[in-house]
Every structure is written in structure tokens, then in C-alpha cells.
Amino acid sequence: MGLFSKIFTNGAKDFISPMTGKVVAMENIPDPAFAQKMMGEGCGIDLTDGTVIAPFDAEVTAAYPTGHAFGLKSKADGTEILIHVGIDTVDLEGEGFDTNIKKGDSVKQGDVLVVVDLEIVRQAGKSLVSPIAFTGDEKVEVYKIGQNITAGEKGLLNYE
């Protein structure tokens, strides 16, 4: 990020919320690997809508055929994140997940990664809390814990 853009954005990255729902602190995610930050810093979103979008322009570094998780690498600064839709949703073997995204794809900010049928996930007894983990050594500051956020909205978090 150049000096000009830092001056006019106060250093904030161009990161939009990839999901709609209530923001959950990382340590309150109902999965020890995420709660103990083994996967990295970040937060979770307890989904109220099933559309998951790209938070920034990125290369898809991982895309599970089940549609429950995606690795993204920012084209702007190389930051890598993992978006994991729900907890233990891999057990659904793709049922209720509609995606065409594959590893190696290029996505633009706001592109749909997956559409999830929340009712199928609920009926399977799986949590809709969906972690966003920064898998590098970024320092992440989450601003909206306990508040609702909409996919595409800025102001969820900042990282450096």
C-alpha cells in the first residue's frame, strides 16, 4: 500500500466482511483449533445469510470440493486467510453448499465464493459460526464483536 493510500485510508486495508451475521470473538468460536488461534488471528461470524463473498481481490489457494472452506491470498499485499463456513460442516460432504470456485481461481472483492443453505446446516446440528483466520503473523484488530455485520460492509477488522 502506497503512502498516498495510507494517508487517505488511515492505513486501513480494503477488507470487506465476507459474510452476514453476528461477529464472534475468535476465542468464543466453538472449535478449539480456531478458539486457541492455532489457525491464526481473526474472528467468526454467526451466519444469518448463506452468501459468502471474497473480502478482497485474491487468488484462491485452497477450495474444498465440499464448499465449506476456502484459502485466499490477497493480490494487494499477499495476506492469506482461511474462511471456514460453519463448524464441522465438512461432515455434510457438500450438501447445502453451492460453489464453483476452485483452487487457482482469481476472485474479485465481492465475488460469491459459496451459497450455503443455512437450514440444512442447522438440521444437521452444525454450528453456523464461521471463522475468518489470518494464517500468517498479521496482527488483527476486530472492531464489531457482538454486533451484526452485512457481507460487503467495511469496518469489520483491520490487519497489519
CB 126, CB 118: distance < 8 Å: no
| SS3 assignment, position 41 | strand
Q: How far apart are CA 95 and CA 152, in angstroms?
A: 25
Asked if 133 and 24 count as a contact pair (C-beta separation under 8 A), the reply is: no
Give me 12's grid cell: 486501513
Give the helix/strand (H/E) hosting 124: none
C-alpha cell at 20: 452476514
Q: Which three cell numbers stand for residue 152?
A: 460487503
Annotated catalytic residue, options 21, 55, 56, 84: 84
68 as an active site residue: the answer is: no
Question: Whose CA is closest to 96, among 34, 58, 52, 56?
Answer: 52
d(CA 156, CA 108): 18
| Residues marked as catalytic | 84
